[in-house]
Amino acid sequence: MPDSEQVERGLTPPTPSPVGWPTAVAIIVLLLACCGALLSANLVAENVPGKRVSQMLAADLPGSPFLEVTLPHWHCCATTPMRFRTTLDADTANAQDPAILIVSAHDNARLFIDGSLVAGEGPGTGEPTNWSRRPRLFHIPKAMALEGAHIEIEVQRGVGFGHLRPIYFGEYDRLYPSYAALRFLRADMQIANGTIGAFVAAFCFAAASLLGARGLMYALGGLAASWALQVLGLGPSEPPWSGVVANGIYFVGYLGTSVFLVWFFVEWTSVFAAPLRRPWRPIDLLISPWPTRLRWRLATAGLSLLALGAIVIALMLQQDAAIGSQDVDRLLGWLTLVAIAFCLIRVVAYYWRTGFRDLFEAAAFLFVLLAAIADIVMVRFFFMYGVSLGAAVMFFPLALLLSLAARARGVFEAATANADKLNLLVTAREREIVEAMNEVRRNERAAMLLEERSRIMRDMHDVIGGQLLGLILQARSQSSSDTRLVSGLEQSLDDLRMVVDSLEQGEGSLTGALGAFRARIEPRCEAAGVALVWEIQDVGETPNIGPDKTLQIYRILLEACTNALRHGAPKQISVSLARTISGEIEIGVRDDGGGFAIENHAPGRGIANMQTRANRIGAAMRLSSDENGARLTLVLRA
């Protein structure tokens, strides 16, 4: 069930991209165009009459020493030059500009006519200097172009399909297109392939850390790099590159192709697959996804094999530059065959399990398969070059990269969708939290209001209520004069204003709060003819002294002033506010009256009240009195 699998992999399936189909079609069209171009080049190359090797060996020159040479052979032709012999036919002899095209003879081919060297460079002594696979096109001097002339072609090394039909005769102009096509197929194509391989390798290595699936990207990069190396090894080897070095590069590239092929397909069939949920069996090595650790071990083993192989190849090439290479070629051929078979089984098993989920992959694999079949048919039955597989292999990494990108897009989209979901969730939770916080704040506020209300009620009840009630009772019983009634009412209003002041000023600074208090006591002092000395310093913020404490301080100060006015008969009263060195607030009321004996008054109601209030707000109250006046000090935390 695909759904449960997706759930287990934790990914939302990638939605088909709107450009998916057009891109897949474009890849196929591009591949077909390339194959078509290569095929037409192939046809042009073949579109001349030529002589097959068998024809030339059974030539019209019986008794030729070359009859004994059998071709091709593993040890055929590296150090032993071969001569193909034939006679010039009438058509060629009568041509305007007779020429000969040597398909696979390499640069070191020599043309002999009637025993004399006409064109080409001879083989060097020892190791070949140039292993280019370029075809050669030689003019046949008109003077020597006689029907029945003995033609001998000596090549140092002739591998490839040119063996089957190595030589064409005809008009130079008629042969030239084939020569150009062959050059393209045998040399220039290699350069294109190598360039693409190098580019893909660079891209993969650079993108591996960005895209993730690092093993896969490294393997693909290695595959492309080894492809480029192979091509490099096949290229012309001019000094300082020796033929041995070029050969070595080619073989290491060849070995690398096998190693990276296996690694890549193991990664490809494992990294996107659901891990196995049953015990591991030996057959799983072939058909099932490999766990990550096993894949990294494979990579390590593969790279070790590559390093070891490179050393062995180097040693073998030291011993014999050419013969050794034939053996290596054969060995590697077998190794690659086994690797390809392994990969093929894995890929079939993989797509059997999952189906083709991606258009690019489908296009790539299908095309590689078709190209391989086409090439086999071409080579086996038409003796032509296999061209499709080369094109398919070139575009294969491209298609796989697109496929990777599509997968990555799926992952990103799944992640984005998840992120969106989470964001929604977070937003919803945030709203809930804010609502809850608001609720808490409302409750807190309600509680604070309740507390504040009850405090104000208490204050009103304690003082103003009592005062008003007393006044009412006095008024009722007519026991009080109007003046006393008015003064009592004024006192009540004063007290009420004090409550209001405490509420207003209590939150900021005690400095402002005491400032407001001055308006409450100054009229009394003035009425009694006593000077009020105001010694208020700015004590800064007093966050610890709220309305409640402020009101208690007001009442203590009022009581102290009232006491001084009532008992001390002072000339002046001074009120001071200051901050002590230790940061506490000190409030003082001092008068220059006669003072009072504390012992005699204690426990006077006023003083007891003051003490009670001081205790309630956690203030230390000191009261002292002598003949120079009384002094009250209040110390509390700011």
Partner 1 sequence: MNQASPRARVAIVEDDAILREDLARIVTQTENLEVAGMADTLAAGRILIGTQPDVLLIDLALPDGNGVELIAEARAQIPSIKIIVVSIFGDAHSVVRAIEAGADGYLLKGANPVEAASAITTVLNGGAPISPAVASHILVRMRDRRDATREKLDAPLTEKEIAVLTDLAKGFRYKEVARLHNISPHTVADHVKSIYRKLAVNSRSEAVFEAVQAGLIRFKD
Which residues of the shown chain bind partner 1 in the complex (CB under 8 A)? 493, 496-497, 500-501, 504-505, 508-509, 511-519, 534, 536-538
Residue among 349 and 516 whose Cβ is closer to partner 1: 516
Residue among 340 and 536 whose Cβ is closer to partner 1: 536
Residue among 512 and 588 whose Cβ is closer to partner 1: 512
Residue among 324 and 506 whose Cβ is closer to partner 1: 506
Q: Which of 365, 385, 366 is nearest to 376 (CA)?
A: 385
Q: Residue written as tokens 């998916």?
A: 20
Residue among 511 and 625 whose Cβ is closer to partner 1: 511
Residue 620, amino acid = A
Q: Angle at the Cα of 381 (from 375 to 386), degrees rounded to 5?
A: 25
SS3 466: helix
Q: Angle at the Cα of 455 (from 449 to 457), degrees rounded to 5?
A: 100
Encoding tokens for residue 145?
């172009």
Rounded Cα gap, residues 152 and 520, in angstroms: 136
Distances (CA, A) of 16 to 6, 19, 357, 419, 565: 15, 8, 10, 20, 96
Residue among 70 and 483 whose Cβ is closer to partner 1: 483
Asked if the bond preceding 239 is cis, omega within 30° of 0, the reply is no
Q: How far is the CB of 471 from partner 1 (least distance, A)?
A: 15
Can you name the residues that pair with 171 across neighbouring β-strands?
A: 98
Q: Where are the alpha helices (DSSP H) in 506-570?
A: 510-527, 547-563
Q: How far is the CB of 419 from partner 1 (least distance, A)?
A: 31
Residue among 260 and 554 whose Cβ is closer to partner 1: 554
Task: Give the neighbor-by-neighbor strand order of the sheet with 150-155.
Answer: 82-87, 150-155, 109-113, 116-119
Q: How far is the CB of 507 from partner 1 (least distance, A)?
A: 8
Rounded Cα gap, residues 471 and 468, in angstroms: 5
Residue among 419 and 486 whose Cβ is closer to partner 1: 486
Instruction: Give the end-to-end CA distance of the chain in Å, rounded to a whole number.
Output: 73
CA 283 to chain centre: 35
Q: How far is the CB of 638 from partner 1 (least distance, A)?
A: 16
Q: How far is the CB of 552 from partner 1 (least distance, A)?
A: 18
Q: How far is the CB of 33 from partner 1 (least distance, A)?
A: 55
Residue among 31 and 551 whose Cβ is closer to partner 1: 551
Q: Which of 376, 389, 385, 335 is nearest to 133 (CA)?
A: 385
Residue among 79 and 574 whose Cβ is closer to partner 1: 574
Encoding tokens for residue 531?
């000077």
Q: How far is the CB of 478 from partner 1 (least distance, A)?
A: 22
Rounded Cα gap, residues 414 and 401, in angstroms: 20
Can you name the residues that pair with 201 across neighbouring β-strands?
A: none
Residue among 537 and 580 whose Cβ is closer to partner 1: 537
Rounded Cα gap, residues 365 and 446, in angstroms: 74
Q: How far is the CB of 357 from partner 1 (least distance, A)?
A: 51
Rounded Cα gap, residues 236 and 591, in angstroms: 118
Q: How far is the CB of 19 from partner 1 (least distance, A)?
A: 39
Q: How far is the CB of 537 from partner 1 (least distance, A)?
A: 8
C-beta of residue 200 within 8 angstroms of C-beta of residue 224: yes
Tell me which DSSP letter residue 16 carries.
Answer: P
Q: How far is the CB of 206 from partner 1 (least distance, A)?
A: 45
